[in-house]
A and B are shown apart, each in its own frame.
Chain A
């Protein structure tokens, strides 16, 4: 199902118009490469997620917690009858969570052979960003997860490498009791 189906008519029109505008600009310049990203907010930080890796966005989701899991597992959510595990993006990116800011938006992303939900505070804007606006990640950013980032804009909005995040073997939870 196309990503656009999750927005209503009016919103779709806006998104399409934007895309058209950027495409036109590209045609005029003949050289601008562009990518479409979903803007998401995790606590107070803004991130961009490549649209092609995103399957859906659900707001006001109720996540059922799972016991005995690492901190980055937020829980389970029922999406149209399917149980989808939800990971806390803040935890994955080492963003401290303040107790009064509750996240309830789920971005469903596709890992190689399964679907997983990423818990964020907000995700409701799609933009087209010119490739040249995405700069390489400065070395001074001490995130410990440099591979998770594909680039940063001048304003400090990082483009996440969803593929890298979701194929990180550290995500696999395979624990047994002694």
Chain B
């Protein structure tokens, strides 16, 4: 590259940084202006905005970026007019200005959109005549719909170029530069195609191009500070990696100190042995010449060993001192490096404000964002990963949570909805609570949607219903709007949280709002883990997913699944050894580690809980791309590798009540396939029984009541029926009678499973023709399976 080219490249990079700052400032200022501040503030803000546009224009000209210069120029005009009271900056005008900023961002990202339409729009804005004392609302809406009409007042203009209309509503999309497109659906990416039909051609370019230039920061996310330098994330990553390695080295050094102490302890045994030998000296020395020589040698030997012992003592002290110092320095270095990558949460604030504003505008609702705890710092990578979930939750709050302004007023709430984000730090976790004062979860709507999707039947508690909202494909929106309704969102949010080894807790306050609590680790690089043992093996569990550790006092069994009570609620208890399919004898005093992911909780049985540690987690490495239950590996202080477990997977295994999944193809194909029909109106029981049977190698078909069961019988080659007694439509007894009454099925083995214990019911069951009657209270897997084997 020639000197000039190099210079230009450098200049462009500098410009990128500067432009990003200007854009950030502009966005901020516009947001503040929209809040209709007092007159004096308004003028100051407008002056700021004008100056920023002016600087941007100059800088763009200096590096020859004419398009940016052009937009900045027309913006300058508009802002000047606004400042001089010749122009009202209403939401419609702001939309256009925001749009302009987005265009500039696109160009900073290396794209070359056609800017004629937007320039024209802005120019029209600037060329508007003085507003009448009552500004004509008619003029504005025309603009906001994207049509470029000449102003109603006299001034004639050349008809605008017939360009595709970049509808201001486009501003809904936060113009974040998309990172390499992921195959996984992102809520942001998916919501966009649903945007109003008018898509300006340039928008199509944005999807799969890498942003150009140094640091692909969104302008709204630049940190506000005076003395700063921009450092590429990759350099910081390298630094963090080294600091992490240093930590491992320090841990190793500490181990050496321990080793040294061992050596010294061993040497300490020696004086005692020596005394015994010394006792023999006189006898040996006096006996003969050889004896005397021997004693001499032995004395020398004694001196020599004394020296060695002393040296070891000194060395041990030295090592100890050095290691302590190393420990202090490493600790401080770690902290500093981590802090370098930490950014305060409020770096996001503009982006969040903007998103909320745009969402509210689209839905014709009023909302304001209140951010608390913005100064809490998080690792930049964690923050980046939180961006999508947060934006989604914000849009949800507006789309699903907040009511229309009129409805709100009728309920006695202020027309403007409040969406709050509260950030706080708790040890190595950060809590980000997104809450709104809308009407809370639409439980009925969710129930209906879940039913429609075939997921829910029968009894569903409020918690269950809310859990449905986290399933893919569920939405309470009758139609798909611009910002919600595709049923894609909350499950992706949870997945993204899980990827961060975090979790999400939902609270619903019907009529008054809902809150989503996101819990994430402060920093990703070093993860705090809990070391646990199962059998002879050690594993690490990420601390962020652990709620508490308790001793196990008593367990009970519910329909074959061992459970314990925690905080008054029953949780499934799974042995870690079993979940990992490792041989582990039953421990004497086991402990239960209570883990939580999203709203799912699990009690994990372990032999012992050893200690908390901070580890630098690394992926297992090829060819091990993804192993179930494993999140990664790290090296312990003593050099041994340790496996860090994936909390989400463990919770998943427990939910399916199996703990052991993945039957190999061969295993599955060996068994002769019997089909069993499971009938029960409770989804929990059905799922439980289904899993027990499937693990045992049977094919399972389910039905929710006797009616459905009969239908299923006709459709599938059923060999045996396991049915509840209490069911709507056609109960277990009735089903029995029907089966026995039919000609083709009368030989069908039927097992009735029920919570009814009295002998009369048992008799009724037998009279109806059931082959076996199992009572749920004493129910366990073995009994059911044994009975089935007997009957088949």
Contact = CB atoms under 8 A, between A and B. Distances in A.
A55 interface: no
Interface in A109-133: 111, 113-114, 116
B627 A173 contact: yes
B582 interface: yes
B16 interface: no
A14 interface: no
B627 A66 contact: yes
Nearest to A70: B664
A168 to B, nearest CB: 9
A83 B635 CA distance: 8
Contacts of A78: 635, 639-641
B640 A64 contact: yes
Given A68-B580, A175-B662, A111 B627 contact: no
A15 B248 CA distance: 37
A66 B582 contact: no
Given A64-B643, A76-B620, A83-B633, A174 B537 contact: no
Contacts of A173: 623-627
Given A173-B625, A175-B628, A64 B652 contact: no
Contacts of A73: 624
A68 B622 contact: no
Interface size class of B (residues with CB under 8 A): 20 to 34
Nearest to B621: A85
Contact of B629 (A77, A177, A178): A177
Interface in B576-610: 580-582
B314 to A, nearest CB: 29
B653 interface: yes
A138 interface: no
B620 A85 contact: yes
Interface in A65-80: 65-69, 73, 75-78
A62 interface: yes
A112 B625 CA distance: 15
Given A81-B245, A85-B621, A76 B626 contact: no
A53 B633 CA distance: 26
Interface in B516-555: 537, 539
Nearest to A170: B623
Nearest to B625: A174
A171 interface: yes
Interface string B633-649: 11100011111000001
B628 A174 contact: no
A68 B633 contact: no
Nearest to B252: A81
A143 to B, nearest CB: 19
Nearest to A116: B623
B684 interface: no
A51 interface: no
B626 A68 contact: no
A84 interface: yes
Interface in B469-504: none
Nearest to A84: B621
Nearest to B642: A64
A78 B635 CA distance: 7
B618 interface: yes
A107 to B, nearest CB: 16
B642 to A, nearest CB: 7
Nearest to B629: A68
B637 to A, nearest CB: 12
B623 A68 contact: no
A84 B619 CA distance: 11
A172 interface: yes
B248 A81 contact: yes
B306 interface: no
A85 B620 CA distance: 7
Interface in A26-57: none
B423 interface: no
Contacts of B662: 68, 175, 177
B630 A68 contact: yes
A83 B626 contact: no
Contacts of A62: 640
A2 interface: no
A116 B537 CA distance: 23
Given A68-B629, A83-B635, A114 B245 contact: no
Contacts of A83: 618, 620-621, 633-635, 641
Nearest to A171: B623
A176 B245 contact: no
Interface string A160-173: 00000000000111
Nearest to A73: B624
A116 to B, nearest CB: 7
Nearest to B626: A174
A77 to B, nearest CB: 7
B621 A177 contact: no
B624 A69 contact: yes
A64 B641 contact: yes
6 contacts: A76-B643, A85-B621, A113-B622, A175-B626, A177-B653, A178-B656
Interface of A: 62, 64-69, 73, 75-78, 81, 83-85, 111, 113-114, 116, 171-178
Q: Which 5 A-B pairs have the closest CB atoms?
A: A67-B580, A174-B625, A114-B622, A64-B641, A76-B641
Given A64-B641, A85-B623, 20 more contacts: A66-B643, A67-B580, A67-B582, A67-B630, A68-B630, A75-B641, A78-B635, A78-B639, A78-B640, A81-B635, A83-B618, A83-B621, A85-B621, A85-B622, A116-B623, A172-B625, A173-B624, A175-B628, A175-B662, A176-B628
